[in-house]
Structures are given as C-alpha cells and as structure tokens.
Amino acid sequence: MKTARMGTNARVCTMIENYQPSKLEWRILHCYRRRNIQSPSEIDIESFAKEAGIWVHHEPVESTHFAMIDDMYTIIVDNRLPHSQQRVELAHEFGHVLLHTGDQEVMCPDERKRQERQANYFAMYALAPTYLIAQHMVEDCSWQSQVVHLAEAFNVPLPFMDARLMLLTQDVYGLSAWTGHSGDMIRECTEDYDYSYRHPLDETLEYVIYNGEILGLRKRKSVWPL
C-alpha cells in the first residue's frame, strides 16, 4: 500500500491548483471563507452546529441525530470513542441535519445508503477542506508519512485521512470513485494488527492498523445494512 502510492504524492502537490471542488465542497468552502478559516485548528464543527441552533451532547451511546419540537435538532456523539473519531462522528451527523430530511428508519435502503454516503463526503470536506490540505502537504515524502502528518494536523484518524487523500487524488485526476484501488491495495491482511477501521466511503472495505500504521485495506467479512 505504501509503495503503490508514493509517486502520487508529489503529483497531487503540484496539480492541486487545478482542482475543481464538487457542489457540496463549494458550499462548505463558501461557509469557511465567510468565517475566514485559515487553519485546521479553526475547524470547530461543534461550535458551527451550536451557532446553527443544534444541540450537541456527548454520551456513551452510538452517535445519532434527531429532530425535536419546532424543527430543533439534537446531535448525540459517542464519547467512548477517541476524540479524533468523535470529530468525524459529529461532522457526519451535522451533515445529515444540514442536508437531509425524513426518518432513515422508514426510508428505502437505497435512499438511506445515499444519505449515508453524502454525510460521509460532508465529513471529509468539512474536516479536511482541500485548500487547507494544500497548505499543509509536505512535498517529497511517502504517502504514509503524508497521511500521518495530515492526520495530526487536522486531528482526524489515520484511515480517515488516508481515504480523504485518496479521494483528493482521484478528484485531481478526474477518476471515478475508488478506481484508484489496485489489486495489491485491496487485500486480505494476514499480519497481526491492533484494530480495523471501516472505510469512510466504502462500507465493503476496512483498514487494518498496527502500531500506528496502516497495513492495508481488505474486504469486510460481513457488511451490515447502514
């Protein structure tokens, strides 16, 4: 995984100036420009949500959101998770509140999956906008080193940043979703590992992590409905 993408890193650094944001990312970019967001430390999703009139609570339960009386919303963030993952969960639920209507429990599976995918993209763009990635990328380093550096800078999990950079790489080169995954990148990892992490944009895949490094991607043994 590391060697397969090392050459891509420098090319993304030089070509990122030609990047064209999606409509969803443009909306987030416009909001950040109004707020004059100039560094990753200024991306405070919880403050943004509260300013929008959304209650945010951290509880030892699965993250979710729900509507209250008078179109007020509450977001619950699972506080049992590491802080960086709590930020991802909050951004995901915030995306649902801003972008979607209806009760997922009663909607058709295809529509529910579409909404989940859109909220995942929202979290990617909101927590790691392209213009800030461009400012913080380090040239002439390996893919893995870049992922570690940016994950720390943006306070997000390693697999989340790996997926974000892959998404950016594909957008820069005009590739469709996940055509960049080669056979040696999606593989069964047989080595010892510390934990797995579901791919943020593909529920059929998961990252395998050992000693603070990404060993690779593999297909999940079971995929539960979203």
Mind listing the pLDDT tens digit for each residue in 25-79?
999 999 999 999 999 999 999 999 999 999 999 999 999 988 876 778 999 999 9
Q: Quick check: is 33 in a domain?
A: no
Among candidate residues 78, 101, 128, the one where a domain is terminated: 128
Residues 133 and 216 in one domain: yes
Position 35 in a domain: no
User: Do 167 and 90 belong together in one domain?
Assistant: no
Whether 146 maps to a domain, the answer reads: yes
SS (H, E, C) the chain: CHHHHHHHHHHHHHHHHHCCCCHHHHHHHHHHHHHCCCCHHHCCHHHHHHHCCEEEEEECCCCEEEECHHHCEEEEEECCCCHHHHHHHHHHHHHHHHHCCCCCCCCCHHHHHHHHHHHHHHHHHHHCCHHHHHHHCCCCCCHHHHHHHHHHHHCCCHHHHHHHHHHHHHHHHCCCCCCCCCCCCECCCCCCCCEEEECCCCCCEEEEEECCEEEEEEECCCCCCC
Query: pLDDT at position 216, please?
Result: 86
CATH code: domain of residue 85: 1.10.10.2910
Q: CA 96, CA 94: separation in Å to the nearest integer?
A: 5
Question: Looking at the DSSP assignment, which residues form a beta bridge with residue 197?
Answer: 207
Q: Is residue 80 a contact partner of residue 60, using CB atoms and an 8 Å limit? A: yes
Among 7-11, 13-17, 20-24, 90-94, the range scoring the smallest mean pLDDT is: 7-11
> What pLDDT band is residue 1 in, cutting at 50, 70 and 90?
very low
Residue 205 in any domain: the answer is yes
Total of domains in the chain: 2
Same domain membership, residue 152 and residue 96: no
135 and 122 part of one domain: no
Asked which of 97, 128, 159 is the last residue of a domain, the reply is 128
Asked if 115 and 145 sit in the same domain, the reply is no
151/219 same-domain check:
yes
**What is the share, in percent, of the chain residues with pLDDT greater than 70?**
78
pLDDT in tens, 130-183: 999 999 998 888 889 999 999 999 999 999 999 999 999 888 776 554 444 443
The answer to whether residues 168 and 211 belong to one domain is yes
The C-alpha atoms of residue 130 and residue 33 are separated, in whole angstroms, by: 13
pLDDT number for residue 114: 86
Q: For residues 123 and 179, state if they share a domain.
A: no
pTM of the predicted model, to two decimals? 0.83
Is 155 domain-assigned? Answer: yes
Domain boundary among 109, 128, 147: 128
Same domain, 159 and 93: no
Owning domain of residue 171? 1-20+129-226
135 plus 119 within the same structural domain? no
Kindly state whether residue 39 falls inside one of the protein's structural domains: no
- The b/e string for 33-65 (b: 16+ C-beta within 10 A; e otherwise) is eeeebeebeebebbebbeeeebebebeeeebeb
Of 28 and 223, more confident = 28
**Is 15 inside any structural domain?**
yes
Q: Given this model, what pLDDT does residue 225 score? A: 52
Task: For residue 120, give both structure tokens.
Answer: 């995942």
Q: Are residues 143 and 221 in the same domain?
A: yes
Residue 38's pLDDT is what? 96
pLDDT at site 179: 46
Asked if residue 36 is part of any domain, the answer here is no
116 shares its domain with 137: no
Instruction: Please give the pLDDT value at position 178.
Output: 47
Residue 183 tokens, joined = 């056979």
Count CA atoms closer than 13 A to 77's CA, side-chain side: 23
User: Over the stretch 89-128, which tens digit does the pLDDT of each residue have?
Assistant: 999 999 999 997 655 555 677 878 888 999 999 999 999 9
